[in-house]
A and B are shown apart, each in its own frame.
Chain A
Amino acid sequence: MNCRDAAKIMDAYADGELELANAVALEEHLNVCQRCRGIERNLGALRGAVQAHTGLERADRKSVV
């Protein structure tokens, strides 16, 4: 797998949506490619930032119907 192919499936991998064969191939690539490891790490950090800062507060509501 090259970096271009890795980029196509990186998001699905990060989201746990990639089938096993492709996940294994991508992991083999990540083991030898520092650049793609950086991209993967950015994805994780982005998710962390969004989840850490997006808690919404709202008042309790009663039945609406």
Chain B
Amino acid sequence: MTDAVTRERFERLLLPHMDAAYSLARWLMRHDALAEEAVQEAYLRAFRFFESMRGEEARPWLLGIVRNVCYTALQQGRGTAACDAFEDERHGEDAVAPGAVVSFPINPELAAIESADRELVHRSLDALADEFREALVLREIHGYSYREIATIVGAPIGTVMSRISRGRRLLQRLLADGIERKDTAA
């Protein structure tokens, strides 16, 4: 394949997913400029390895690269400090089996969720451990299927299901706690 043909194919298949790439990077890095950097790096890497993308869906393939770039950057100390609000739970319950029961508290939590504002939703998502935040972002914001998410994060579908379920439970609790704190401070 000539360089021109490769480039044309790359642009046709991968550039339409740049917004999705940025959105995922932003949620993982929690920083605008670092997310931009990660997307740049991911596209460069994708271009370098583009020939290896054969018969795969372009979007999950690209987002898998974005994810790897982000986690590499975070491991190297770039990116914002992670909030450890849920570290105890993370370590205490991380061995949860795929499909494990995750029960939701029932209403009146509904009122708390419905009254959450933008700031609280962002703060609560940021407070989640990485694997829960990325699963929820990919599902709720990007609308990917479980199978697509499994491809992107390189995990079995059962693990994806479990992370989405637990992520929702944790997020719901964070929103309810945030509303409570607001009410108390008022």
Residue tally, chain B, CB below 8 Å to A: 49
Chain A positions 1-43 with a Cβ under 8 Å from a chain B Cβ: 4, 7-8, 10-12, 15, 17, 35, 38-39, 41-43
Contact present for A50 and B106 (CB under 8 Å): no
**Given A50-B140, A53-B116, also A42-B104 (CB < 8 A):** yes
- What does the 1/0 interface line of B164-186 toward A look like (CB < 8 Å)? 11001001100100000000000
Stretch at the interface among B51-59, B72-80, B107-115: B107-115
A12 to B102, CA, bound (A): 12
Q: Mark out the residues of chain B between 14 and 49 whose CB falls within 8 Å of any chain A CB in the assembled complex.
A: 15, 18-19, 22-23, 26, 32, 36, 39-40, 43-44, 47
Q: State the interface size on chain A (CB cutoff 8 A).
A: 30
When the two chains form their complex, are residues A49 and B175 in contact, meaning their CB atoms are under 8 A apart? Answer: yes
Cβ 8 A contact of A7, one of B7, B19, B101, B146: B101
- CB pair A15 B146 closer than 8 Å: yes
Q: Which of A10, A17, A51 contacts B141 (CB 8 A)?
A: A51
Asked if B125 lies at the interface with its beta carbon under 8 angstroms from chain A, I say: yes
Among B47, B102, B113, B175, contact of A65 (Cβ-Cβ < 8 Å)? B47
Q: Check B39–A64 contact: CB distance below 8 A.
A: yes
- Specify which chain A residues have a CB less than 8 angstroms from the CB of B47 in the assembled complex: 65
B44-A46 in contact (CB<8A): no
Known contacts A15-B139, A50-B121, A53-B117: A39-B32 contact under CB 8 Å: no
How far apart are B144's CB and chain A's nearest CB, in angstroms? 10
Give the dominant DSSP class at B's interface. helix
**B121 near A7 (CB under 8 angstroms)?**
no
A11 and chain B: residue at smallest CB distance: B165
User: Of A11, A47, A54, which one neighbours B125 at CB under 8 angstroms?
Assistant: A54
User: Closest chain B residue to A65 by CB distance?
Assistant: B47
Contact A11 B161 (CB under 8 A): yes
Complex formed: what's the CA distance from A39 to B10 in Å? 44
A56 near B23: Cβ-Cβ < 8 Å? yes
Q: In the complex, A55 Cα to B17 Cα: how many Å?
A: 16
Answer whether A53 and B7 are a contact pair too, CB < 8 Å, given A58-B32, A65-B44.
no
Question: Nearest chain-B residue to A12 (Cβ)?
Answer: B161
A63 & B15 in contact (Cβ 8 Å cutoff): yes
Contact between B121 and A45, CB atoms less than 8 A apart: no
Q: In whole angstroms, how far apart are the Cα atoms of A7 and B169 in the complex?
A: 12
